[in-house]
Chain A
Amino acid sequence: EIVLTQSPGTLSLSPGERATLSCRASQSVSSYLAWYQQKPGQAPRLLIYDASNRATGIPPRFSGSGSGTDFTLTISSLEPEDFAVYYCQQRSNWPPYTFGQGTKLEIK
């Protein structure tokens, strides 16, 4: 089973700042990595798939990069609605699909 480790656990930033979230896989997942955003009381929402492709309706301030074992989600300029929990997920070696433990992005 591939283990995904996200860092940091919590990221405290202000609106307008740049956010950089990391996800590291225990073995290569090629580019088969997705990012999801989850707000309290809501279902997760797909942001990025296959490492760098934005899902439908996702604004361009969200970008993904990386391949192999190291991946990054970047939010170029934080909007108030971006404060949430972010999860990475791999689909390279399944079952099972696995998720990271999440990064909480909170307002500083």
Chain B
Amino acid sequence: EVQLVESGGGLVKPGGSLRLSCAASGFTFSNFIINWVRQAPGKGLEWVSSITTTSEYIYYADSVKGRFTVSRDNAKNSLYLQMNSLRAEDTAVYYCARDGPGGAAPGRGNFDYWGQGTLVTVSS
């Protein structure tokens, strides 16, 4: 069974930092592009970042570029999001989501499995 489990969320002051983790199981993690998607309370979904299988290509939304850094450790089946210079508008549930495998299944840019999310609250 494919599982993605986020952790590391919490309350942080504006300007502070936080590191989120996403632990993957039930599939060959190193073969899949993984994404971060966030959802502010009561709002819609916003794509945050994508990282390719070998970390060769990394992409960010303009809203987080220069402040957030995504990384992965394929040996540990884990994805990370280092968040610095946090702002009130970064308050959200952060989900990790897997890109589809392609072929006869959903391909790149279709998020076929999601974690349960971890809440980040930025407030003084």
Question: Which A positions have Cβ atoms within 8 angstroms of B?
Answer: 32, 34, 36, 38, 42-46, 49-50, 53, 55-56, 87, 89, 91, 94-102
Q: Is there an interface contact between B114 and A34, defined as CB atoms closer than 8 Å?
A: no
Please provide the 6 A-B residue pairs with the shortest distance between their CB atoms, ordered closest to farther. Answer: A91-B109, A43-B114, A97-B47, A49-B106, A49-B110, A95-B59
- For the residues of A in contact with B, the DSSP-based class is loop
How many residue pairs between the two chains, A and B, have CB atoms under 8 Å in the bound complex? 70
B60 on the A face (CB < 8 A):
yes
Question: Which B positions have Cβ atoms within 8 angstroms of A?
Answer: 35, 37, 44-47, 50, 59-62, 95, 100, 105-112, 114-117
A55 to B104, CA, bound (A): 10
* A36: B residues at CB distance < 8 A: 45, 111
Output the nearest chain A residue to B46 by Cβ-Cβ distance: A99
